[in-house]
Amino acid sequence: MTALTLTNVNKTFGKVHVLKDISLEVEDGEFVVFVGPSGCGKSTLLRVIAGLEDASSGEVRIGGDLVNTTPPSKRGIAMVFQSYALYPHLTVRGNMTLALKQERQPKSVIEDRVAKASRMLDLTSYLDRYPSELSGGQRQRVAIGRAIVREPKLFLFDEPLSNLDAALRMNTRIEIANLHRQLAASMIYVTHDQTEAMTLADKIVVLRDGRVEQIGSPMELYNNPANQFVAGFLGSPSMNFLPGDLLQGGDERTIGIRPEDLFLSDTGALTAQVSHVEQLGGDTNVIAHVQDHQITARLFGQHAIEAGDTVRLGFDPAKTYAFDRDGQRVSPT
């Protein structure tokens, strides 16, 4: 069964067309990540799914039921917000139980679920504290706990980690991945961090300007991007794009090469002026210019290269991508 089906969903705010003809499916138990640059409509799409905004047109189905006119609380969803949005006047326990009390669940059920969720999230000793007495990471876990106790058909996460620092973000990311395994629930996760997208997702939906650019598993999108936008968006450092005539002469296509596919070679096709070097220990990122075009090479290991050096870089033509003028992928020959 599908957990969520969107069919030609559109959303306009007055004259602003924010979501354009979005159609996609989320299978049961699947972890789907929406990525895209800021302002592309990720949050709006999530809010349409949650029922916080009405779709201007199109169908939203959750677990097979048409929910276009169902209020958020009846859609069988739970949402975790970027700003946590905990109720300040309720304790952690109060925050987690409010929705269940609202649904008039029996006391024993409520106790059970809170106990289970707080054990899962390590919140047992904080249950009687108020949100203002918790650290950022703890607040985020409470927000997740509040979603878990509802046992929803579909979890919605809107950039849940963006207020956490790097170390905590990584831990919480792993926690969310574990949670997904334990609960086997369907989850939709919004982020603009492509590391989160690549590591968490079963399926990634790349959005741009309110349109779906491509849907697929992380490796599908990485290895086989449908267009220049997706190719440039996934992968870090991002893909290098060079005009075709620089490489093959008289070609108007754009050639894309991943930074890790470039290597030092005395016979390499590219002669580049190094402008900056990032030594990461395990890898070395070399930022250089080929004529006016900036490229990044990710070299394995440590290299004694300095800004101002001239290097020759080679690549395997089989590992390049070609895009036409409109940015659509075309065959490389």
Partner 1 sequence: MNKARTNPFNTLAMHGALIFYTLIALFPVFVILINSFKTRKAIFREPLALPDADSFSMVGYQTVMKQGDFFLYFQNSMIVTVGSLFLVLLFGAMAAYALSEYRFRGNMIMGLYLALGIMIPIRIGTVAILEMMVATGLVNTLWALILVYTAQGLPLAVFILSEFMRQVSDDLKNAGRIDGLSEYTIFFRLVLPLVRPAMATVAVFNMIPIWNDLWFPLILAPAEEVKTLTLGSQVFIGQFVTDWNAVLSALSMAILPVLILYVIFSRQLIRGITSGAVK
Ligand X SMILES: Nc1ncnc2c1ncn2[C@@H]1O[C@H](COP(=O)(O)OP(=O)(O)OP(=O)(O)O)[C@@H](O)[C@H]1O
| Contacts with partner 1, residue ranges (CB under 8 A) | 47, 50, 52, 71-74, 77-79, 81-89, 98-99, 102-103, 130-134, 136, 139, 146, 163
CB of 129 to partner 1, least distance (A): 10
CB of 240 to partner 1, least distance (A): 37
CB of 74 to partner 1, least distance (A): 8
Q: Are strands 310-314 and 263-264 parallel, antiparallel or unpaired?
A: antiparallel
Structure-token pair, residue 301: 């290991």
CB of 201 to ligand X, least distance (A): 17
Give the amino acid at 139.
R
Q: Does 39 bind ligand X (CB under 6 A)?
A: yes
Q: Does 43 bind Mg ion (CB under 5 A)?
A: yes
For residues 25 and 2, is the Cβ–Cβ distance under 8 A? yes
Which CB, 3 or 231, lies closer to partner 1? 3
Task: Residue 235: count other Cβ atoms within 10 Å of its Cβ.
Answer: 19
Which CB, 47 or 173, lies closer to partner 1? 47
Task: Residue 104: count other Cβ atoms within 10 Å of its Cβ.
Answer: 6
Identify the residue among 32, 35, 40, 120 touching ligand X (CB under 6 A). Answer: 40
Alpha carbon separation from 59 to 55, 67, 87 (Å, rounded): 8, 8, 32
Give the amino acid at 107.
K
- By a kind-dependent CB cut-off of 5 to 8 A, residue 72 interacts, out of partner 1, ligand X, Mg ion, none, with partner 1
Question: Would you call 22 helix, strand, or coil by DSSP?
Answer: strand
Q: Are strands 240-243 and 254-257 parallel, antiparallel or unpaired?
A: antiparallel
CB of 201 to partner 1, least distance (A): 23
Under the rule (CB under 6 A), what is the footprint of ligand X? 13, 16, 18, 36, 38-44, 192
